[in-house]
Structure 1
Amino acid sequence: MFDASAATLAQGADALCPLGARDCARPRYNYSQCRRNDLLDFYVPGLPATNRNARAKLPVQIHAANARSSDGEQYQLSGHVHLARGDHLLQAPNVDYTRSTTAYSAYGGVTYQDQSLLLSAQSISGTTTPERADARQVRYQLLQARGNGRARSAQILNSVHSRYQDATYSTCDPQSRLWDFQGHQFDINRATGIGIAHDVSMRFMGVPFLWLPWMRFPVNGQRLSGFLAPSFGGSGNSGMYLRVPYYLNLAPNYDATLEPAFYSLRGPMLGGQFRYLLDASKGELNFNYMPHDNLYGGKRWMLQYQDSTALTPDWSFNTNINRVSDNTYFEDFGNSLTLAATSLLGSSAYINGGGSWWNAALGVDTYQLTDPTLPQDVQPYNRLPRGVLDLDIPLSGPLIFGLRSTAVAFRKPGAPEGDRLDLYPYLEAPLQGAAWFLRPRLGFRYTRYWLQGNNGDPSRALPIAQLDSGLIFDRSVNLFGHSYTQTLEPRAYYLYVPYRNQNNLPIFDTQPLTFDWWSLFSSNQYTGADRQVNANNLTLALSTRLIDSSGIQRFSAGIGQIRYFTPQRVQLPGYPVLNQAGSAYVGMVSVGLSRNWSLDLTQQYDPNLHRTTVSSVGIQRRLNGDGVLNLAYRYRRGLFDQYDVSALWPVSPSWSLVGRWDYSVANHKTLEAFGGVEWDSCCVSVRGVLRRYVTNYQGNETNAIMLEVVFNGIGGLGSRTGNFLSHAILGYQ
């Protein structure tokens, strides 16, 4: 039932992640609240690091305040006696030593240390050659992990292997053991990182709750086969569940995990993972299989496979396969709003190549619709196959010849099918100086279709001319007692594309791009190649930045608009021709003047409609170290209008509150809400969360309870609440 990875002895939490980061590294085990082990009081730093073979060739060095011997063979040593050999050091007030056999007997309060072990005992006897010792009334501390404990007796069998009788083991403070193992015998191999316990019980606050006749557990960072921490929880869709994973450390470069599970309302499920890392490839396979779902009335399964293989220095093979048994799988088994609302799964397999002036790819893309509320005709076309060739060839001086080209075969049952070739060769001459840039480009786009049936083979050909230019002014300013470099950056982008009637071209993979700051400088407002806008446009934009003395950008702001000199006649079917003087104004502000708070603001105002079309505000505030508060508002006219508040709020060194509220104004509905607590001590962490969230686009809701107890150094029990919180709360650490 224990985790395949173990803790290190390092104290304290990792440094705070950058403000605004989505995923923050959270220590697997946090020992920041642990006190210093008293055994470290006799630790002697700076001993030479020697391996076992080298140590055997070194002489034993003996120091004592007093030494007596009647025959030069038997010695009685007293007064701060030290027996040292390489990284081994034994200290005692009294030692009897035999010169010929290297046997010794130390008593009166003895301490021993090597590279990975500290030990104190009432008495120790043994030999320096071979390295063996027997100790009585023992306290021990592993230096490469926080593991420590007591034992009636202990044996040091060699430099890495020790045995403890009637012993305890824990990663807690010795003075405050919230949990520990108590066993008849512990065998600890510090080289392999494995501890083996016999007749062992696990206790929490002194109360036994688990007994095993034999058990293996980790004592350092080595991977270890065995049962991992079970997870359990509950939801309204599937009832209570229990998962019991078993980890298989098959080889240094590949491993596997099998995870039997049981859902009270649905039945048993088998999950698993296989990972590999070879000289030329790496990959991961994940699967879940339920032979019969009592509620669904049939089998359920999920498959995910990723692989990246280097074929030659310039070529590789990459695949990403994602499939589920049915379109309600994520609704029934997803444990988050994002996963439950997954509507489309993509799979791909590609051969990719690249060099200093070229990139190429050949492969396939397929899609699976996983939202039962959406009609089948919204599923994208499969691309069977798709080829890409991009060139950027330097010519004379600043002149560059470029090519963007794709060839795709679009296939979709029950829909018009065909093939498409899209070629876009161009010449550009980027010029720039310290305070300016000028990027002229002249290209020609040719697109040809071969349609199945009697739909003909339409084509489109047109030139594309663009000129991107800008200036960069800077000055030194002093704000709030700090020195900054402020920039002022005007930018002008001109685009000319003549009109071509494209109503006879099919729509295979083209949709309008989301209009944002980068759309101001784009040569097309559509994805795919089925539509190319006509344009006689000029984008005018102005931005400014504040950069501190270390080169970090602390503030940025910008505003821009496209001015149209001709109507936008190229539209998707059902959309009218637009005859507007200009696009919406796009503005953005990003502020991060300190490590404790940041602000990101995006605003779009349409002068044609005289109203705001897009608005988003995000504020993040650090609280008491690793706490965080997020306030967000997101609005896009006709699509969504949402408030989102989330927080990790430390109320004491041990207690924190967690929560989130995601509310849709348009639907007058809470999309997700949860609240819970975290409690951390030196060696135990407890997280509990109550959740209510939407499971599909129809707005159906369910409840869930998540509880996780983590025993630092060996793993935990319950649902993986920490993983859920790291994705649900921006900046959770």
Structure 2
Amino acid sequence: MRKLVFFSAGIVSCLSSVSFAQEDMLCKRSTQDVFLPFAVYPEEPEVQVEADTAQIRQSGTSVFTGNVDVIRGGQQLNADHARYNQQTGEVHASGNVRLRDSDIVLRAQEAEWSMVDDEGALLDVEYQTREMHARGRADNVYRQGMSWTSMKNATYTTCMEGDDTWLLSAGRVYLDHDSAVGEATNVVVRVKGVPIFYTPYINFPLNDERKSGFLPPSIGNSSKNGFDVSTPYYWNIAPNRDATITPRYMGDRGLLLSGQYRYLYEGGEGQIEAGFLSSDNKRRDGELLNPNYRDDRKHFTLQHLGDSGSNWFTEVDYNYVSDRQYLEDFGTNLSLTSTTHLNRLLRVGYSNPNWTLNARLHGYQTVADVSRPYQRLPQIVFRGNLPDQAFGLSYEMKAEYVMFDHSDRVRGQRVDLEPGISLPMGTPGMFLTPRVAVRHTRYDLNNTSDTDFNRNINRTLPVLSLDSGLFFERPLSFRNGRYTQTLEPRAFYLYIPERNQDRIPVFDTNLRTFGMASLFSHDRFTGTDRVGDANQLTVGLTSRFINNRTGREGFRMTVGQIRYFTDRDVVLPDRGEVGRRSDSDIVAEVVAAVTRSWSVAGEMQWDARDSKSSMSSAQIRYRGDDGGVFNIGHRYRRDSSNFLEGLEQIDVSAALPVNERWSVIGRYYRSIKDGRNLEMLAGFEYRSCCWATRLVYRDYLKYSFNDAFDDAPRNSDRRDKAIFLEFELKGLGSFGKRSDSLLQRSIIGYQN
């Protein structure tokens, strides 16, 4: 073996970095003995040369023959023959040339390199990259040191060798490694040999950093918008700022131009979104007239979160749409299309370990035929807590000032104060917490001339409670596993005297939905306008099974009930009768991890007097190691239970692999009480190592009523049907109507 310092070779980068993916288990490619290991080398590494025979000349051309192996600084050259001219600094290798490092392997018939200019060329090249498992070929590759690479007549694919399901070809490719940007001309994408895309020019990033450029288009068709195509353009403004501009053409409506701007800095982050559709072209929506025909339609959203680093924080959430049907027409999921109010919030706050202060302005834009809520202009809330003070006492304070504004109703100011003191006591096996608080509220009202309300109202109430619990545990063996079973009885007594509050307006108060969380609550109302009278005792029992090895909770069961010693006289206007029952529904909850993949959860409220269920919910969930998910849930609520409208719904969803490549997707979401389907999904996915496709059919309820349509029958269903067809060429991008975000919302646990 002889050693010569003569060789420095370059590497060609992969053609496209549009998307970076982890290794696909379907592509069982071995990288062992192909790429060199990652390592750090000195700036002037030594060159090692091995060959079967060598003719060394100090002032001429040295010749190496047979199994030539040259290693220098993380790069290796193998060839049948190699010549080195020490005077010109030129190297020529031929015959089964292989050039490789930790990122790429190139195979060629000939390679030339200049030590003087640190540049060289390879002819008739095949390459393979570690990133994306990409491979391809080029007529020639020219490299200028580590700065740039040029290729002629190059191809690129992520399919395994021998599989050209898809192939990208380009006349010329230029890679600027310093700026990590690539350019290509006369680009053609072929699938199964058929050209499906052409562009005279593209540019692309050479690493996972963001770069400006067009993103894959989204193409689809739906009954509400017709042919629908979006072509987003991504603008990488700065490392902490970017924007996406999306022209969206809808065959039935026209061109909607929307944009999103995002920013991030040391003290905050946020985004701005806006959209504009000039003159909606859709005359009719099914059998109904489009109330926005020929109107300009638009939306605007500003969301900001700020943190100054000195305990101060800010929040802005402002939303606007031009008309009530905007979300219904351009939204894509049930929760969005059923939105009734858009938030408009400005909040400033301060927080430290013992107290917080929040000030906010809070309003809404109403986008449905429902009552407009009160606006808070402003609201200031203070919460403080001083635990473990003298004699073990803990002090707390809640204070609120709010100005309620409304165009049609009584409005005014409200001040609410609730100082409290408690004495937490306990041991590892028990706890006992007596608490005393005083609730004082004052109202100064306006616009009361047509009401029974006084301009000035005061209300003061004591709040007494005693919370207690015990903890028991024992060892337990089950199926060769060791567990700890706990038994946790709890008793909670609450006393609040009754005060007549009929002459107090209701600004922001509602009845709390009865359930497990409300058993141990200090108030049965949300908000401040009503303080519920109480003389009651809650008794509950919880048992857990905890795995001693993992510490995970494998099973939990809780049951509880409230015993009332007096009637509940405080009610909301027109929201039910005085509570005269001596006990509440029995509430039970069960959560269990049956196996590593299967879990069940359920909750029930049982009316012992009527011997019937008031509310129930049950879920069964499966999460497989192969990525499969299955969910089935049933929800039921009796009419007038807790003054809420009854419902009964079933929801079944799944994304289950059939084999390594095929998966089926589906959801069946139905209101049994109303006898109508809320959403149905059906489709499949196919995945290989280099491409994937997804086809999903969706039928969902857009809206069940809309008084904006004068000729619409009340409670008439308005549905939409859509087909999502998406192709992904791994390592290049995806085309078609994207459905991954829809599936993540509709199928719990789904991952693309």
Q: For the superposition of Structure 1 and Structure 2, which TM-score range results when normalised by the shorter chain?
A: over 0.9
Q: Distance in 2 between matches of 1:280 and 1:368?
A: 29
Instruction: Tell me whether 1:108 sits opposite 2:95 in the alignment.
Output: yes
Partner of 2:12: none
- Counterpart in the other structure of 1:635: 636
> By how many angstroms is 1:195 displaced?
2.7
Instruction: Determine the C-alpha separation between the residues in 2 that align with 1:342 and 1:177.
Output: 47
Q: Matched residues in 2 for 1:682 and 1:190: separation? A: 27
Map of 1:526 onto structure 2:
525
Residue 689 of structure 1: how far off its partner (Å): 1.2
The yes-or-no answer on 1:255 pairing with 2:256 is no
Structure 1 residue 103 displacement after superposition: 2.0
Among 430, 449, 452, the residue aligned to 1:436:
430
Task: Specify which of 442, 451, 457 is matched with residue 448 of structure 1.
Answer: 442
**Structure 1 residue 667 displacement after superposition:** 0.5
Does 2:330 match 1:330? no
Deviations 1:500-557 (A, max 9, x none): 1111111000011111111001001111100111111111000111111211111111
RMSD value over aligned CA atoms?
2.0
Query: Does 2:168 align with 1:181?
Result: yes
Asked whether the 8 Å contact 1:650–1:657 carries over to 2, the reply is: yes
Match of 1:652 in 2: 659
Alignment-mate amino acid for residue 731 of structure 2: G
Secondary structure of the 1:34 match is coil
SS in 1 for 2:278: strand
> Residues 565 and 710 of structure 1: is their aligned pair in 2 closer, same or farther, counting only changes over 3 Å?
same
Instruction: Please name the residue that 2:512 is paired with.
Output: 513
Deviation string, structure 1 residues 419-463 (Cα, Å, up to 9, x no partner): 111111101222232222222211111111110034311121101
Q: Which amino acid aligns with 1:10?
A: Q
Aligned counterparts of 1:525 and 1:5: Cα–Cα separation in 2: 56
What is aligned with 1:718? Answer: 736
Give the TM-score of the pair, scaled to structure 2: 0.90
Asked if the contact 1:624/1:650 (under 8 Å) is kept, the reply is: no
Question: Matched residue of 1:695: which SS?
Answer: strand
Q: What one-letter code is carried by the residue in structure 1 that aligns with 2:158?
A: T
2:226 to 208, 219, 239: 239
2:493 is the alignment partner of 1:494: yes
* Deviation (angstroms), 1:101: 4.0
CA distance in 2, matches of 1:488, 1:131: 76
Q: Helix, strand or coil: the match of 2:503?
A: coil
Consecutive unaligned residues of structure 2, counting only runs of 5 or more, are 1-14, 283-291, 449-453, 640-645, 706-716
Number of the residue aligned with 2:10: none
Alignment of 1:44 onto 2:41: no
TM, length-normalised to structure 1: 0.92
Q: Please identify, of 391-400 and 588-597, the stretch whose mean Cα deviation from structure 2 is larger.
A: 391-400
CA distance in 2, matches of 1:463, 1:616: 36
**1:440-495 CA-partner distances (Å, limit 9, x unpaired):** 21111111111003431112110111111111111111112221111111111111
Unaligned runs of 5+ in 1: 12-30
For the Cα contact (< 8 Å) 1:35–1:173, is it kept in 2?
no
Is the 1:580–1:608 contact (alpha carbons within 8 Å) kept by the matching residues of 2?
no
Q: Contact 1:145/1:219 (CA < 8 Å) preserved in 2?
A: no
Partner in structure 2 of residue 28 of structure 1: none
Query: For residues 195-248 of structure 1, what are the alpha-carbon distances to aligned partners after superposition, in whole Å with 9 as ceiling and x for unaligned?
Result: 311111111111111111111134431212111111122222222211111111
**Offset at residue 264 of structure 1 (A):** 1.2
For 1:463 and 1:379, how far apart are their aligned partners in 2?
33
The verdict on how the C-alpha distance between 1:614 and 1:191 changes in structure 2, with shifts beyond 3 A counting, is farther
Call closer, same or farther: CA 1:192–1:688 in 2, change over 3 Å: farther
Which residue of 1 is the match for residue 622 of structure 2? 621
Distance in structure 2 (CA, Å) of the matches to 1:139 and 1:469: 75
Aligned in 2, Cα 1:109/1:432: closer, same or farther, shift over 3 Å? farther
| Matching of residue 386 in structure 1 with residue 386 in structure 2 | no
Task: Output aligned runs, 1:113-132, within 5 Å.
Answer: 113-128=100-115, 130-132=117-119
- AA of the residue aligned to 2:375: N
Q: Where does residue 342 of structure 1 map in the other structure?
A: 339
| C-alpha distance in structure 2 between counterparts of 1:626 and 1:9, whole Å | 17
Moved more, 100-109 or 206-215: 100-109
The offset of 1:81, in angstroms, is 2.6
* CA–CA separation in structure 2 for the residues paired with 1:340 and 1:722: 19
Letter in 1 for 2:566: T
Instruction: Give the corresponding residue for 1:212.
Output: 199
Shift of 1:344: 2.2
The 3 A distance-change label for structure 1 pair 191 and 727 is farther
Report SS of the residue matched to 2:596: coil
Once the 2 structures are TM-superposed, how far is the Cα of residue 594 of structure 1 from its aligned partner? 2.0
1:80–1:209 Cα change, 3 Å: same
Give me the whole-angstrom Cα distance separating, in 2, the residues matched to 1:192 and 1:514.
Answer: 58
Distance 1:711 1:146, change over 3 A: same
Correspondence 1:314 to 2:311: yes
Show the counterpart of 2:349. Answer: 352
Q: Residues 635 and 642 of structure 1 are in contact (CA less than 8 Å); yes or no, is this contact kept in structure 2?
A: yes
Q: Secondary structure at the match of 1:551?
A: coil
Q: Distance in 1 between matches of 2:659 and 2:305?
A: 45
Code of the residue aligned with 1:562 in structure 2: it is I
Secondary structure in 1 aligned to 2:345?
Answer: strand
- Aligned residue number for residue 369 of structure 1: 366
Q: Which amino acid aligns with 1:330?
A: L
Distance 1:363 1:306, change over 3 A: same
Inter-partner Cα distance in structure 2 for 1:598 and 1:32: 27
- 1:727 is paired with a residue whose SS is helix
Quote how far apart the aligned CAs of 1:5 are: 6.8
Work out whether residues 35 and 130 of structure 2, in 8 Å CA contact, stay in contact via their aligned partners in 1. Answer: no
Amino acid at match of 1:77: F
**Secondary structure of 2:703's aligned partner:** coil
**In structure 2, what is the Cα distance between the partners aligned to 1:335 and 1:478?**
50
Letter in 1 for 2:750: Y
Deviates more, 1:526-535 or 1:411-420: 411-420
Q: Name the CA distance, whole Å, in 2 between partners of 1:85 and 1:671.
A: 65
For the structure 1 residues 280 and 4, does the alpha-carbon distance in structure 2 shift closer, same or farther, using more than 3 Å as the test?
A: farther
For 1:642, the aligned partner's letter is: Q
SS at match of 1:259: strand
Q: Aligned with 1:726: secondary structure?
A: helix
Structure 2: how far apart are the matches of 1:535 and 1:334?
44
Determine the structure 2 residue equivalent to 1:159.
146
Q: Spell out, residue by residue over 1:557-607, the C-alpha distance to the aligned partner (whole angstroms, 9 max, x if none).
A: 110001111111111012211111111111000111322111011110022
Other structure's SS at 1:332 match = helix
**Aligned with 1:293: secondary structure?**
coil
After superposition, residues 521-600 of structure 1 pair within 5 angstroms as: 521-548=520-547, 549-574=549-574, 575-600=576-601
Distance 1:215 1:365 in 2: 47
Q: After TM superposition, list the pairs within 5 Å mapping 1:396-411 onto structure 2.
A: 396-411=390-405
User: Which residue number corresponds to residue 14 of structure 1?
Assistant: none
Contact 1:201 1:208 in 2 (8 A): yes
- 1:243-268 CA-to-partner distances (Å, cap 9, x unmatched) read 11111111111110100011111111
Q: Secondary structure at the match of 1:292?
A: coil
Amino acid at match of 1:402: E
Q: Which residue of 2 aligns with 1:20?
A: none
- Asked if 1 retains the 8 angstrom alpha-carbon contact of 2:58 and 2:86, the reply is no
Give how far 1:120 is off.
1.6
Q: Is the 8 A contact 1:224 1:248 kept in 2?
A: yes
Structure 2 residue identity aligned to 1:43: F
SS of equivalent to 2:45: coil
Residue in 2 that maps onto 1:84? 71
Matched residue, 2:480: 481
Between the two proteins, the alignment pairs up a number of residues equal to 702
Greater mean alpha carbon deviation, residues 255-264 or residues 341-350: 341-350
What amino acid maps onto 1:564 in structure 2? Y
Measured at CA, do residues 121 and 390 of structure 1 come closer, stay the same or move farther in structure 2, by a change above 3 Å? same
- SS for the counterpart of 2:275 is strand
Structure-2 residue corresponding to 1:682: 689
Could you tell me which amino acid in structure 2 is paired with residue 602 of structure 1? Answer: E
CA distance, structure 2, for counterparts of residue 726 and residue 9 of structure 1: 19
SS in 1 for 2:296: strand
One-letter amino acid matched to 2:27: C
Distance 1:192 1:430, change over 3 A: farther
